[in-house]
């Protein structure tokens, strides 16, 4: 299935080569859906860009709402002695005298009046305007033509008129014409919307340049027979105006309540349900999931919410739960999720989260069995709660109470892997202000690829002599080791000098004044194993391309961490809340409870 449609600047939309429902143009992938035969609406697939939110739509007029071709610009240029490649309005302004300018404008208006009389609505234009008005979307016109010619052309429309537009900006208004962004910015002010929430639709490069310069979302209408210039970098390209309905539908803020059924059905269709053990799949009207567990010995269950990040939140929801399941030696199998979104979220945002859920489940062979999606004022940003079920044989189940004195404590990767990725994903602007370059921020953000511990957990799970596994999450390594000590009912000695910290994590923590040992650390796994297998196990993990370090050993029965540095006892740090909560100003969040 194609991924979510996300806006992005795209280049050279021709030629097309179709690949598995996704269109490849050079090295760039676009989602495509067919409309009216072979015409394809294109949207570049780019998971780094956040989905758009549309609160108003601004149309070019000639060639967009009306059919193109009624104005012959070559004839007009010849009539006023305008050079072939000069824009007409800009040329007229350069004429030496006011009289010459007025004469040239009179000629232009004569041709515009003739063209307006002959003009016809573009196919789908009237239906689109009626649809937008019915949905409450403010709409306007911005054109290099005169207001008189716009009024005259609208007389040829059967069902709409000038009164259907909240705003009409023409060359008669005291703003510079397109491609200058002045008119776009004026429209945003008149609509009382952020320009980033304004959708600019046009058929010519000036429309797209003006919209891009202003910071609006741009849609290029590629009329039949027209070929967009290769440097026309619109966010979307469509072949017919009817296709704009889908873009607006997905990008309009949604009201509180359940996700509309037609959207839910469309999003569910993107999932593959090919696990024969799942008897009842997600669907409209399906309130439960059913799985066949006849062949299984032990079910391992886990539930965890994702609340701190909106960047790849669906990916985290699957992986964080899968990490915990894997620490028991089990295989993650069946996933259920509850998605809560704040009011005025867009369908694009919801679809992106569902896409993240789908790709994460596919990556780890997990079946998404069901869940619930709701828009509610109970949350101010997305919250994704996951519930995952895994399976394991009784003999392979790993329980923390099996640890013994002398067991070695291994630690994979480095401290605060997840925290590094979250901070880079959520606080890019702040990091830039502190002096980080974009490539550094991208490198930190790429740590998200390290937050899975399933690979090393599976290697450890196959090794006789592994007594316990525990993944590092909220509260960082400091809290995770205390949890391991409590659940394993033994004290643990840790050599502080052996704890690995990636240079990237150290740098970001120093810049922000936070401590890496208390920073959320999904992606790192604590493994307790018998001393005699520790070196062999470490070699196997390293062979898989995963860093691993021996940082301590299990001591006598009890609870607590005994830390040493350079051979001398030191105090083990404690954190009431995760450092990322403190960083985000969430100190009042609940203390990190010890996991059962």
Nearest to 181 by CA among 58, 315, 14: 58
Q: What are phi and psi of 269, to 5 degrees?
A: -60, -20
The sheet with strand 466-471 has its strands ordered as 466-471, 525-529, 408-412, 548-557, 490-495, 561-565, 568-570
CATH number for 348: 3.30.1330.10
Quick one: 562 and 478 in the same domain?
A: yes
Q: Where are the alpha helices (DSSP H) in 343-435?
A: 347-364, 417-426, 428-433
The per-residue pLDDT for 229 is 62
Quick one: 355 and 206 in the same domain?
A: no
Quick one: 262 and 390 in the same domain?
A: yes
Quick one: 233 and 143 in the same domain?
A: yes
Q: What is the mean pLDDT of the chain?
A: 86
Quick one: 49 and 198 in the same domain?
A: yes
Quick one: 383 and 409 in the same domain?
A: no
Structure token pair of residue 60: 């070019």
What residues pair up with 346 in beta bridges, in sequence order? 253
Tell me which of 396, 415, 433 is where a domain ends: 396
How many domains in the chain? Answer: 4
Per-residue pLDDT reduced to its tens digit, 62-72: 999 999 877 88
- What's the pLDDT band for 557 if we cut at 50, 70, 90? very high
Q: Is residue 589 part of a domain?
A: no
The per-residue pLDDT for 18 is 33
The per-residue pLDDT for 226 is 58
The per-residue pLDDT for 64 is 95
CA distance 499 to 477: 9
CA distance 251 to 245: 10
Quick one: 195 and 293 in the same domain?
A: no
Q: Are strands 257-258 and 278-280 parallel, antiparallel or unpaired?
A: unpaired
Q: What is the 3-state secondary structure (H, E, C) of 409-441?
A: EEEECCCCHHHHHHHHHHCHHHHHHCCCCHHHH
CATH number for 485: 3.90.650.10
Per-residue pLDDT reduced to its tens digit, 435-453: 999 999 999 999 988 889 9
Structure pTM? 0.71
Its domain, for residue 198, covers: 17-68+119-251
Contacts of 583 (CB under 8 A, 6+ apart): 423, 427, 512, 514
Quick one: 126 and 21 in the same domain?
A: yes
CATH number for 201: 3.40.50.1000
Quick one: 200 and 277 in the same domain?
A: no
CA distance 443 to 567: 35
The per-residue pLDDT for 232 is 74
pLDDT at 327 exceeding the cut of 60: yes
Q: What is the 3-state secondary structure (H, E, C) of 186-231?
A: HHHHHHCCCHHHEEEEECCHHHHHHHHHHCCEEEEECCCCCCCCCC
Quick one: 42 and 52 in the same domain?
A: yes
**Average pLDDT in the 295-301 region?**
90
Tell me which of 251, 285, 303 is where a domain ends: 251
Quick one: 419 and 556 in the same domain?
A: yes
Per-residue pLDDT reduced to its tens digit, 93-149: 889 899 998 888 898 889 888 888 999 999 999 999 999 999 999 999 999 999 999
Token pair 């609340």: residue: 307
Q: What are phi and psi of 260, to 5 degrees?
A: -50, 140
pLDDT at 11 exceeding the cut of 70: no
Q: Is residue 595 part of a domain?
A: no
**Average pLDDT in the 478-497 region?**
96
Tell me which of 206, 236, 251 is where a domain ends: 251
Quick one: 152 and 215 in the same domain?
A: yes
pLDDT at 205 exceeding the cut of 50: yes
């Amino acid at each position: 299935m194609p991924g979510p449609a996300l806006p992005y600047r795209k280049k050279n939309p021709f030629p097309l080569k179709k690949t598995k429902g996704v269109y490849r143009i050079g090295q760039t992938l676009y989602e495509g859906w067919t409309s009216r035969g072979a015409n394809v609406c294109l949207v570049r697939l780019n998971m780094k860009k956040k989905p758009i939110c549309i609160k108003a739509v601004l149309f070019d007029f000639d060639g967009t709402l009306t059919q193109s071709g009624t104005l012959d610009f070559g004839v007009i240029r010849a009539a006023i002695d305008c050079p072939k490649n000069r824009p007409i309005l800009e040329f007229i302004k350069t004429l030496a005298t006011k009289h010459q300018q007025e004469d040239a404008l009179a000629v232009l208006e004569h041709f515009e009046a003739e063209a307006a009389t002959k003009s016809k609505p573009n196919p789908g234009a009237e239906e689109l305007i009626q649809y937008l008005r019915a949905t409450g979307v403010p709409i306007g016109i911005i054109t290099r033509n005169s207001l008189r010619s716009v009024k005259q052309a609208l007389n040829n429309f059967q069902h709409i008129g000038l009164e259907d537009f909240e705003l009409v900006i023409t060359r008669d208004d005291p703003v510079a014409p397109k491609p200058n962004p002045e008119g776009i910015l004026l429209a945003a002010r008149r609509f009382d919307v952020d320009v980033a929430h304004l959708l600019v639709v046009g058929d010519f490069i000036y429309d797209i340049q003006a919209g891009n310069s202003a910071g609006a979302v741009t849609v290029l209408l590629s009329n039949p027979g027209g070929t967009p210039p290769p440097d026309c970098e619109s966010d979307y390209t469509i072949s017919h105006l009817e296709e704009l309905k889908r873009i607006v539908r997905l990008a309009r803020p949604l009201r509180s309540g359940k996700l509309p059924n037609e959207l839910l059905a469309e999003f569910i269709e993107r999932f593959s349900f090919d696990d024969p053990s799942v008897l009842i799949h997600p669907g409209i009207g399906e309130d439960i999931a059913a799985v066949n567990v006849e062949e299984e010995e032990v079910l391992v269950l886990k539930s965890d919410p994702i609340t701190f990040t909106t960047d790849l939140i669906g990916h985290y929801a699957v992986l964080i739960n899968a990490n915990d399941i894997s620490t028991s030696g089990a295989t993650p199998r069946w996933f259920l999720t509850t998605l809560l979104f704040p009011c005025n979220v867009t369908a694009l945002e919801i679809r992106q989260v569902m896409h993240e859920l789908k790709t994460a489940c596919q990556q780890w062979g997990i079946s998404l069995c069901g869940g619930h999606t709701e828009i509610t004022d109970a949350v101010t940003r997305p919250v994704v709660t996951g519930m995952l079920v895994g399976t394991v044989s009784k003999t392979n189940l790993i329980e923390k109470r099996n640890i013994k004195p002398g067991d070695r404590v291994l630690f994979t990767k480095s401290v605060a892997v997840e925290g590094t990725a979250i901070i880079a994903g959520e606080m890019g602007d702040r990091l830039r202000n502190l002096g980080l370059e974009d490539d550094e921020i991208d490198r930190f953000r790429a740590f998200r690829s390290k937050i899975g511990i399933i690979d090393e957990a599976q290697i450890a799970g196959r090794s006789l002599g592994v007594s316990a596994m525990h993944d590092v999450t909220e509260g960082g390594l400091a809290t995770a080791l205390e949890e391991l000590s409590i659940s394993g009912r033994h004290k643990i000695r840790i050599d502080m000098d052996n704890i690995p910290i990636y240079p990237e994590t150290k740098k970001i923590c120093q810049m922000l004044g936070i401590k890496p040992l208390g920073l959320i650390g999904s992606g790192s796994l604590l493994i307790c194993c018998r001393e005699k297998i520790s070196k062999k196990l470490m070699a196997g993990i390293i062979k898989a391309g995963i860093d691993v370090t021996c940082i301590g050993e299990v001591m006598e029965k009890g609870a607590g961490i005994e830390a040493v540095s350079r051979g001398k006892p030191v105090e083990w740090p404690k954190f009431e809340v995760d450092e990322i909560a403190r960083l985000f100003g969430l100190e009042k969040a609940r203390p990190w409870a010890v996991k059962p």
